[in-house]
Amino acid sequence: MRNQKSRVQECKVEHIDLIPGMPDDVAVDCLARVPHASFRSMRGVCRGWNTAAAAPDFALARAEAGANEDLVYLLQFGNPAAADADGVAPENAQAYGVSVYNVTTGEWRREGAAPPVPMFAQCAAVGSRLAVLGGWDPKTFEPVADVHVLDASTGVWRRGAPMRSARSFFACAEAGGKIYVAGGHDKLKNALKTAEAYDAGADAWDPLPDMSEERDECDGMATVAGDRFLAVSGYRTGRQGGFERDAEWFDPASREWRRLERVRAPPSAAHVVVRGRVWCIEGTAVMEYRGERRSWREVGPSPPGLKAGTARAVAVGGGERVVVTGAIESEGGAGGHALWVFDVKSNMMNPKSRVQEWEADHINLIPGMPDDCLARVLHGSYRSMRRVCRGWTSTRTH
């Protein structure tokens, strides 16, 4: 038998420029300047762009190019996509979605492809990940343990490991690279003192020791150093609405809770750490905590027109600015919501801008046809017809 020699040819993968005719380092510098709102479209152009944008050095390239943007995520009413698996939602169910305010450009946008968001859910960010946690099921009005995580660099959502305890109206904040939750109440409206910490990278929860007190409707924040979590104020089951003027902070080294006295209690106050200082935004002023004296002093005006008890705040730009959102005080009824930006250096509150309200665009029941066409469907097919989509379910026949 005659042996034949086979010749193995080595195949070399030809390099493809990210942008034809341009060195890749220059191309990356160009891609780094693409606005965050266009990230998903940019990464979908080709495999090379997707790989470049996913590289650890891409964030550094954006920083060096001066292209970083400060983004604030809000859980906001008005997402028509909040429905169950069959596309059916009760008529009285409130629907929430995820909105994004670009502090750098002043632009609003709706986060696409967001999962249904529970009522009164909490959110916190760690690195490039945003976690939406807990809240109420919009159909049963019972607390849930659901967790959804958005990778802000890709725009992709995933379901995270659920919390160990379903809860709502709880303290939530990022500290030391983890997202902490504590307190709130269960489905029987009993205040909780349980707590847990979420590692978004590992998608795992760490059960923490109980706090010393039950704390419903408590506020969450990080300590001045940013590595410890505080559950501020709240009330016990037997003292509905009786907010305590203390807090507990968790020491991750000893895994113990420690008490802090003389805090300003919600719901009239929102807490935020600014340049290593604890600030409290109230209905009348912006206050700063003086740790050495355990007292508070006024550092600036309250956002003009802010309705007391509705403020939420977050520091951006390394503490250069504080973004405050809340309801607008109105004598004639609903005044909507607004957003204010407080410049820490100048001690000035920028004029308020209206929070973008979102409404569902009208979608034809059958593309290109008048909506009354479904009236011709035979009665025997009603059940099948109504299961096609939410729009067909809402159609009434007589």
Q: When comparing pLDDT for 69 and 371, which is higher?
A: 69
The number of angstroms, rounded, from the C-alpha of 101 to the middle of its chain's C-alpha atoms is 11
Helix, coil or strand: residue 297: strand
Q: Are 148 and 159 in contact (CB under 8 A)?
A: yes
Mean pLDDT of the chain: 81
Return the pLDDT at 96: 80
Taking the alpha carbons at both ends of the chain, their separation in whole angstroms is 86
Confidence of residue 8 (pLDDT cuts 50, 70, 90): very low
Return the pLDDT at 318: 81
384 pLDDT exceeds 60? no
From residue 359, alpha-carbon distances to 114, 142, 260 in Å are 15, 26, 43
Report the phi/psi class of residue 194: left, alpha or beta, with left for phi > 0 and alpha for psi in -120 to 50. beta
Task: Give residue-wise pLDDT tens across range 315-330.
Answer: 888 888 999 988 888 7
The whole-angstrom separation of Cα 79 and Cα 372 is 25
Return the pLDDT at 241: 81
**What's the average model confidence in pLDDT over 140-153?**
93
314 pLDDT exceeds 70? yes
Q: When comparing pLDDT for 33 and 348, which is higher?
A: 33
Helix, coil or strand: residue 71: strand
381 pLDDT exceeds 80? no
Q: Are 90 and 139 in contact (CB under 8 A)?
A: yes
Top mean pLDDT of 123-127, 160-164, 387-391 is at 160-164
Task: Give residue-wise pLDDT tens across range 224-243.
Answer: 777 889 999 999 998 888 88
Task: Give residue-wise pLDDT tens across range 175-216.
Answer: 999 999 999 999 999 999 999 999 999 999 999 999 999 999
* Among the listed residues 155, 78, 45, the one whose alpha carbon sits nearest the alpha carbon of residue 357: 78
Contacts 24+ apart (CB under 8 A), 50-56: 52/18, 52/24, 52/27, 52/28, 53/153, 53/154, 54/153, 54/154
Return the pLDDT at 227: 83
Q: Is 264 exposed, middle or buried (0-12, 13-18, 19+ CB in 10 A)?
A: buried
Return the pLDDT at 372: 54
Q: Is 254 exposed, middle or buried (0-12, 13-18, 19+ CB in 10 A)?
A: exposed
- Record the pTM: 0.77
Q: Say what percent of the chain tops pLDDT 90.
A: 34
- Helices and strands in the chain: count of H runs, count of E runs: 6, 24
Task: Give residue-wise pLDDT tens across range 54-85.
Answer: 888 898 999 899 988 999 999 887 644 444 43
Lowest pLDDT segment from 44-58, 113-127, 325-339: 325-339
Q: Is 359 exposed, middle or buried (0-12, 13-18, 19+ CB in 10 A)?
A: exposed
Q: Are 69 and 104 in contact (CB under 8 A)?
A: yes
Q: When comparing pLDDT for 291 and 279, which is higher?
A: 279
255 pLDDT exceeds 80? yes
